[in-house]
A and B are shown apart, each in its own frame.
Chain A
Amino acid sequence: MFGYYLHLAWHSLRRNRVLTALMVLAIAVGIGAAMTTFTVLHVLSGDPLPGRSGELYYPQIDPQDARGMMPGPMPPEQVTLIDGMNLLRAKRADRQALMAGGTVPIQPDASSFDPFYVEARYTTADFFAMFGAPFLYGHGWSGADDEAHARDVVITRQLDDKLFSGADSVGRALRIKDTTFRIAGVLDDWHPNPHFYDLTTGAYNYYEQVFLPLQTALELHFDKNGSNDCWGNGTGGMQGGAYPSATCVWLQFWVQLDSPAKAAAYRQFLVRYSEEQKALGRFQRAPNVRLRNLTQWLDYNGVVPGDVRLQAWMAFGFLLVCLVNTVGLMLAKFLRRAGELSVRRALGASRRALFAQLLTESGVIGIAGGSAGLLLALFGLWMVRHRTSDYAALAHLDPAMLLVTFALATGASLLAGVLPAWRACNVAPALQLKSN
């Protein structure tokens, strides 16, 4: 029976080509616009570390003096070097890492390369295990290496490809800013988006190429990137090898806490730490701590650009208008065929059968519109990629979104077909036939 309905639908759609084209086009542009903006929104609000994000927390404490640089009750969004080292060495979490971003010159031995600058992350041993960074060769450095200011470096596969043609470079030497480092490991492709662990360097499409121990970087006065907030007499060093003073926050501190109970205990620890520091006279404010997990941290920072959300809303409004339009056109089309439908009714087809037939027709329109909409969405995403925004390169349609596109297109057109089909199959056959 379904085959017969398809056949009927095909005939009916061919009979009135302009109207059919109009309906398919309306659904296509609606779906195209909605899916383009929704895909961008989906990509940008994605989980950077699926499966791990629930266990990662970003502790915030408030070391500011009483007069305070930043008004309001929120503690600063980064930590000072002293507090970062204290919390790191306290080892109260399952894993913890203190970090800052920077830029370093790489000075290859081979004369075929001029020195070049790459983005770097200065961090501590647990970074790789905590964030699940995959190693292609070798491994990270140890906590002991951290304290020993080891000249160890982890590079990315991209840098390994560039310098060593992709060979296993573990153990080889790499000169960074006039200092020789030993390559401890090579990371496989790893691009968490958003760049959650340090949002101050840009939330999207920011990748470091070298990772080296924080204390080594500090000792060697490597340049730092990112922001710093100071209070009191603090001054912020930006570049030139000077670091912000003790009353500036400029490092990120992350912890891994495997259970909610541990998270609660860690929050208590942060409060106790703040009280202790206040007793010592370093902190002047009452304990003011936050312990957000990764997802909450991204939400709090409003990482997804407001424009992208706004565009998604507008595009869904647009889709709604396109659907209302399709409902109107289908209504006209179905009601115009009242005569034909009445004949089928008179010959014994049930209302249910007519309803199924008409819905089949709207489903065909939906699938056609969805396919065209998919092409439009692919075109739209191509346009987004060619715009120079920091997230442009990420705008790709993944299989899940592909499925959503089709489900949305077919579902929407079936929904659009329900009212017209219902009205059409309720036509009184006798009256209709008589008037003809």
Chain B
Amino acid sequence: MKLHPMIAALRKHKAGVVLIALQIALTLAIVCNAIFIIGQRIDRVNRPTGLDESNLFLVTQQWVGAPSADTADGVAKLDAMQKEDLAALRNLPSVASVAPINSLPLLNSTWAGSVSTKPDRKFSDKGDNVRTAYYFTDDQAMSTLGLKIVAGRAFNAGDVQHQGFRDNPPRPIVIVTKALADKLFPQGGAVGKAIYVDGSSSPSTIVGVVARMQVPATGTWVNGFTWNATLVPSRLDANFARYAVRAKPGQMEAAMRAVAPTLYQVNPLRVLDDDSVKSFADIRAHAYRADVGMAVLMGVICLILLSVTAAGIVGLTSFWVGQRHKQIGVRRALGARKADILHYFQLENLLIAGSGAVGGVLLAIGLNMLLMKHYEMDRLPILYVLVGVAAVLLLGQGAVFVPARRASNVPPVAATRVA
């Protein structure tokens, strides 16, 4: 089919053509970026923390009238209270293991610092220092959290110390994540090497490397060190404590229900409220609620946008079909087949949608650059744009089919009738 009569016909109603093309261009620009945002958020939400998240829950509790963590005596008393709690929880029949821990991945309560391979490094010394987040826990951490040791060993009971919340004693041994070990020792062999935490002059020996463990925070400020966690075998003593609990398979609910009565029996002077016992699934849902909300909203916007655009194409094409009723009849009378009429409208739509898509690609890239400048967005991969172009072209063809079918059903006799 020759294109130039079609273009000549389109020039007769420029306004309508420009409007459809513009609408397709804007739709393409918005849909590409929205789907890209959805993809990014889904990637973020689906990244594994490195923990075995099923059957895992966290207990956060606070003692009322606890001794002060400022004195050695107070710290000793707090530690005894914590050990009582741990023993009671470990004795529960539905519980597999328990570890005290200051935070968990996705909990957004972060103790951040920096580690170096050299002593006495200042924070401002760039290059030497690697940012990290600390987990203070004990020898049951590996089994409770389900972390995988890839080199060296786990903590054993003899490694575990305890310290007041505000104290900053030397940390003779640590376990680091593989990401952190690779950054500190690019040549490998991190196990057995010494590192220095927070500019300290006393060494901390790496006894083990875990495959993966995310830091607690999910905000953008941890973007550079999301996987650089450091585990320290030390119980933190304060007037509050957190316990990570792994329930035996299938007994998660029973274990969660048993926590409050058990702990109250150990010591009734404490605060345990509705939020105190939280499954890891809840922690995950809470941490990513904004991302999930954003993805859903963008999805809804895309869907409605595509429907509105499709409806617009149906509306305008129907109008053109009505307007050209008589001409279609003439063409049919001159020997055009039904398929020729159908193809004419399909090709016309392809032409308009195609030119709209060209503009849309430019707009999509422009919008992406604008969003990159003002918000945390990455560069839009060209694949998204190509898929978007294919999608709007298909959408146009789908939308034009109904009015085009109607046009192809115009009988040749329409040529002889008054419009």
Q: Which residues of A approach B to under 8 Å, CB–CB?
A: 19, 22, 26, 29-30, 33, 67-69, 71, 105, 115-117, 178, 221, 223, 235-242, 305-307, 309-311, 313-315, 317-318, 320-322, 324-325, 327-329, 331-333, 335-336, 387-389, 419, 423, 435-436
Contact = CB atoms under 8 A, between A and B. Distances in A.
B34 A314 contact: yes
A68 B27 CA distance: 50
A237 B166 contact: yes
A105 B297 CA distance: 40
Contact of B305 (A309, A318, A331, A332): A318
B19 A331 contact: yes
Interface stretch (B86-94, B253-261, B286-294): B286-294
A321 B23 contact: yes
Interface string B211-237: 000000000000000000000000001
A46 to B, nearest CB: 20
A327 B68 contact: no
Contacts of B20: 328
Chain B interface size, under 10 / 10 to 19 / 20 to 34 / 35 or more? 35 or more
A67 B122 contact: yes
Contact of A324 (B22, B70, B271, B289): B22
B376 A67 contact: no
A71 B15 CA distance: 57
Interface of A is mostly: helix
B312 A336 contact: no
B410 to A, nearest CB: 17
A316 B298 CA distance: 13
B311 A22 contact: yes
B16 A331 contact: yes
Contacts of B271: 105, 115-117
B42 interface: no
A20 to B, nearest CB: 11
A9 B377 CA distance: 46
A201 B16 CA distance: 54
Given A29-B304, A311-B297, A325-B23, A238 B316 contact: no
A311 B70 contact: no
Contacts of B290: 305, 307, 389
Contact of A242 (B65, B68, B293, B322): B68
Contact of A336 (B26, B308, B323): B323
20 contacts: A19-B315, A33-B301, A69-B123, A105-B64, A116-B271, A235-B167, A237-B165, A240-B66, A240-B69, A241-B68, A242-B70, A242-B166, A314-B30, A321-B305, A324-B26, A325-B311, A328-B23, A329-B312, A332-B16, A336-B319
Contacts of A30: 308
A240 B319 contact: no
A239 B64 CA distance: 13
Contact of B30 (A238, A305, A321, A325): A321
B309 interface: yes
Nearest to A26: B308
B34 to A, nearest CB: 6
B197 interface: no
A321 B293 contact: no
A335 B168 CA distance: 80
A72 to B, nearest CB: 10
Contacts of A19: 315
A312 to B, nearest CB: 11
Contacts of A436: 418-419
Given A105-B271, A235-B167, 11 more contacts: A71-B123, A71-B124, A115-B271, A117-B271, A239-B239, A314-B34, A321-B308, A328-B312, A331-B19, A333-B319, A335-B319
